[in-house]
Amino acid sequence: MNLQNYIQCLLPEIESELRRVIEQAIPAQYTQLKGMLHYHMGWEGEGAGPEAQGKRIRPLLVLLCAMAAGGDWRGALPAAAAVELLHNFSLVHDDIQDQSPLRRSRPTVWVKWGVAQAINTGDVLFTLAFLALQDLSSRLPAPHVLEASRLLQTTCLRLTEGQFLDLSYEGQSALPMDAYWPMIGGKTSALLGCCAELGALTAGADETRRRAFREYGYTLGLAFQVLDDWLGIWGDASRTGKSVESDLVTGKKTLPVVYGLALGGRFAQRWQQGKIQPEEVAALADLLKEEGAYEHTLQTAQQLTGRALDWLRQAAQPGDAAQALVELTNMLLTRQS
C-alpha cells in the first residue's frame, strides 16, 4: 500500500472516531455547542467537507507510526483522535489570539459566535482530547496508558510555552535567530513529536525506538512550520485559506522575517519604523525575496526534512507503513496549503 491507499483507508476511521468521541461526551440537549464543534471540525456549515476538515496529518502520523513500529493501527485510534482534538483546541484559541478571521477559507469560530463562546469551544476540545485518550485503557496495559497521558499533558505545556513565545515576540522589534527555534519547537514540533511517539507507544516499542520516532516527528514539525512560514508570505491565499498579509501585519516573527531582520537591510529598516500596513505587504514580500529570505526558508525546510527522514530510518521497521511515512514527509515539504 502507498500513502494514498493508507489515507483512503484511515481517514474515514479517524473521522468516525472523532465523531464518536464528541457525540458520546456532549449531551443531546447542547445542540448549539455540538454545532460549534461540528462547524470547526469541518462537518457542518457552509463549505463543510474535506477542505474544511484539514488534512488530519497528526492522527495519520499516529496510525502510520504505530504500524511502522510493528503495531495495529486500530489500537492507536484513541490516541489519533486525542491529538487531533488537542490540535483543534489550539487552532480555536490561536485564531482568537491572532484575531484571524479565516480558518481553512471559512470564518473562524470566534467570528461566527464571539470570543467567549469560541474560548469555551476550545476548552471543550481540550477536555475531549484527554477523554479520547482514556479509551486506550481497553487496549493497553495501565502503565502504558499513564505514559500516554503524561506525553499528551507534557505536550500541552510545550504548546502553550511556544504560543507564549510567539505572542511575546510580536511586541519585539528584533529577534535573534536562535530565539526562533524554541518558539516553533513548542507551538508546532512538540505535538508532531508526540504523535509519532504515541504511535510507537501503542505498538509496544522500547524507549530507544520511541525516542527515534519522537525525534522524527519533532524534526518533521520544524520543517512543517518553516514551510508554513514561507506559505504565510508567498503562498496562494486561495489554497492556504489564510491571508498572506496577516503574518507581516501582525508582526509575527516567522523565519523569513527573522532572517530579514538579521541582515539589517532595507526590510529590517522598514520593520524598525513600526507597524506594517496591508498595502505594504506585497512590496515587503518582494524585498524579503530579493534579500534571500525566500530561498533561505525553502532550503532550511529541505534540510530539516532530510534530518527527519534520517530519524525515521532509525525508528521504523521496513515495510509499507514506513514507506508511506517517507511519502508523507516529502508531501509536507512540497505542499501548497
- Nine cell digits for residue 129: 482530547
Spatial separation of the C-alpha atoms in residues 254 and 276, rounded to whole Å: 14
172 by Cβ neighbours in 10 Å (0-12 / 13-18 / 19+) ranks as exposed
Average of per-residue pLDDT across 322-333: 95
| Site of grid cell 500541552 | 156
Average of per-residue pLDDT across 135-160: 96
Residue 9 has pLDDT above 80, yes or no: yes
Helix or strand holding residue 136 (H, E): none
- Mean residue pLDDT across the chain: 95
In this predicted structure, what is the pLDDT of residue 172? 86
- Nine cell digits for residue 75: 489500537
Spatial separation of the C-alpha atoms in residues 191 and 225, rounded to whole Å: 12
Q: What confidence tens digit (pLDDT) does each residue in 259-284 have? A: 999 999 999 999 999 889 999 999 99
| Residue 141, SS3 per DSSP | coil
| Site of grid cell 497528526 | 58
Helix or strand holding residue 106 (H, E): strand 106-107
Q: What confidence tens digit (pLDDT) does each residue in 43-100 have? A: 999 999 999 999 999 999 999 999 999 999 999 999 999 999 999 999 999 999 988 8
Residue 145's CB is within 10 A of a number of other CB atoms, namely 21
In this predicted structure, what is the pLDDT of residue 242? 60
Residue 148's CB is within 10 A of a number of other CB atoms, namely 24
In this predicted structure, what is the pLDDT of residue 240? 60
In this predicted structure, what is the pLDDT of residue 250? 85
Spatial separation of the C-alpha atoms in residues 182 and 29, rounded to whole Å: 43
Q: What confidence tens digit (pLDDT) does each residue in 212-261 have? A: 999 999 999 999 999 999 999 998 876 665 665 678 988 889 999 999 99
In this predicted structure, what is the pLDDT of residue 244? 59
